[in-house]
Structure 1
Amino acid sequence: MRPVIVALPIADRQVSYRFYQDGLGWMAEGEPAEDGVPEPLRFALNEGMGIMLVPTGGFGWVIGDREVAPRGHSECVVNFDAGSDEGVDELMRRAHEAGAELVTKPGPQPWGYAGAFADPDGHVWMVTSGR
C-alpha cells in the first residue's frame, strides 16, 4: 500500500516551511529549489502518511473552478497521533511557540487526550495520544 499524501493550500512557502520544519521539527523531503525550500514541499509524518503544502494558486489544476476555503473555515481536520499524553503536550507547545493558534488546549476528553492548533494558514490539526 502506498502512503496517503494530504495536500494543503498555503499562502507562503517560507512561512510554512519554517513552521513545520523548524517549529514542529518535521523534516522536509527533497532538494531545495531556488528559494531554499524543497519543491514540492512535502513532509513524511510516518510510513503511511505525509503532507504536501501547495501554494493556493497551484490548487487550481486539481480543484478546477472550486474555491479554496478561506482562513477560519475548515473543510477537514488533520489528526496526528503523538503516541502519548506527553507527546500531545510537547507537539502542542512546539506548535504554539512556532506561531500556531491554539484552537483547543491539550487535555483529557471523554474519548482520550487531545488538543488542536491551527497552522499559519488556518489548517486545524488535532493532536491525540495513542491510547
Structure 2
Amino acid sequence: MFSKIMTPVDLAHLDKLQRALDCAADLASHYGADLVYVGVTAETPGALGHNPEEYAARLEAFAAQQAETHGIVASAHAVVAHDPATDLDETLFKAIDEIGADLVVMQSHVPNLVDYIWPSNGGKLCGHAKVSVMVVRG
C-alpha cells in the first residue's frame, strides 16, 4: 500500500517524537516500505552541527541506528532552510516531492486555542499535502 514513508524529525527533541518514530518504523516494516527521516537545519552553526554537512551526518547516523533497531530500510534527507522555524511547512512539502513519499508520519501535540489562529505543522500538512498524512498525538 505504501512504498516510501517520510518522517520529519527534530534531532534536538527525539524524546518527544518516540510514538511517531515507532509508528513509522512499524508501518515501514508492515508494508516493506522505505522510511526516510527528514530533518531541517539552517546554514548557521547550531547545537546539532556547525554546518549543514555535520547536521546531515548526525541525521544519517540516526537513520542507520533506526534501521538496525527496527530491521527496516531507512535513510536520511537533510534539508537546509533559511529559517527552519518559519520555513518548515514549505520545506516539508518540497521534501515530500523530492523523496517521492506516499505517506507522511509525524508527531504533533494535542490542539489548543492557539492552533485555531496558527495551525500546527501537522495540521498544515494534513490540510494541504497531496499524499496521506498520519498525525500521531503524544
Q: Under a length normalisation based on structure 1, what TM-score does the superposition of the two structures give?
A: 0.33
Q: Between Structure 1 and Structure 2, whose CA radius of gyration is higher?
A: 1
Query: Which has a greater percent of helix?
Result: 2
